[in-house]
Structure 1
């Protein structure tokens, strides 16, 4: 007996079923986030390579060890934000703010770990890569989503995003940061607070002021983001700048 079309793995993974796979990566997270009452997120980006204290101890010397402070600070930022979110829930009962990460190791792990230490759940948007990126041990399985398509994962990073924080990272972090800046700059994403954590790092690797001087971006674009160098600074940044006036469906134009 032939399989039903929606049970036929050969068909579902074929070229003709591409739109079905894409639609599934939209509808499944949408249904699950709604079921768990997740209305808003603060997205934590940063390098997957920055080691945890535990990994640093067993891994021997690496230049990346010099950046391990950012793991601990991302962990603390996420803990503080998650605790603040619990207070917000009492003040604004129809909003439910959570940490959201890419679900992998490094800074992503620190974000999920900090939320868990605060007694809060967090969202993890993992991507399936040729070299397998497994979800870190601090994710909540019911809020962990595996993506085949980068662009669908990007959509879900932004769909519920009310603020984002970028820790030091490489190509992936830069990709997500500039994607977010571009969406806000062009009005495709409603304005949100964007925070670059570690001013020295970001000032050394990207000369935003030079871009403005050369008229490649406008002076106003320099106000699309801010900096922080401590978890408390980061928390205060979001406490001052996050706005919840928009409904869940109005936040991202998709």
Structure 2
């Protein structure tokens, strides 16, 4: 639901002209959160730029849920670097088709969330989770659970947006209550920096 900075600025101008306070609040929030769109675009560009210099068998490809917002930003970053990128879209009332930056031959549409998540996990080399809603949380905890229980191979899990994630989920409270182990906190990393996010993945795979 986070839009590009230029789109957010246009929404703000429109809201200011309308004089509608509720619209103005939404527009200001859009401007505030547009930075995540830019950061996702930058991160994907770093991955794509590196991978385009590798042998095809050694490349890492950007794969998103194929929708708008942060997903679009990541596909866009890869597309702008000239790299193939994947969109695993799902039919929803407000997301009917893949965004325009997905490589056309790699745009897929699913009906069931479970099958879509399975295809993500079958191929994922890493998960970078930007601020999102229920769907993002569903996918994040699916990966955390599979890696924690060793039902899936370990992969780097990066929570992008330190303040958002720490306000949203109190993992330390889970440790204190004994619902997870202290070592489970090592399954993921926080960051606000595209270079650091990519650095964590490179370090994991010794790229």
Question: How do residues 1-254 of structure 1 correspond to structure 2 at under 5 angstroms?
Answer: 49-60=1-12, 61-87=27-53, 89-90=54-55, 94-242=57-205
Unaligned runs of 5+ in 1: 1-48, 245-254
Higher RCO structure (Cα 8 Å, ≥6 apart): 1
Q: Which runs of 5+ in 2 are unaligned?
A: 13-26
More helix by share: 2
Alpha-carbon distance between aligned partners in 2 of 1:175 and 1:148, rounded to the nearest angstrom:
16
Whole-angstrom distance in 1 between the partners of 2:140 and 2:163:
17
Could you tell me whether the CA contact under 8 Å between 2:159 and 2:191 is conserved in 1?
Answer: yes
Describe the superposition over 1:15-39 as per-residue Cα deviations: whole angstroms up to 9, x where unpaired: xxxxxxxxxxxxxxxxxxxxxxxxx
Residue 80 to residue 132, structure 1, CA distance change in 2 (3 Å): closer
> How far off its partner does 1:200 sit?
1.4
Q: Distance in 1 between matches of 2:204 and 2:60?
A: 14
Q: 1:200 to 1:234 in 2, by over 3 A?
A: same
RMSD of Structure 2 on Structure 1 (CA): 1.5
Per the normalisation by structure 2, the TM-score is 0.88
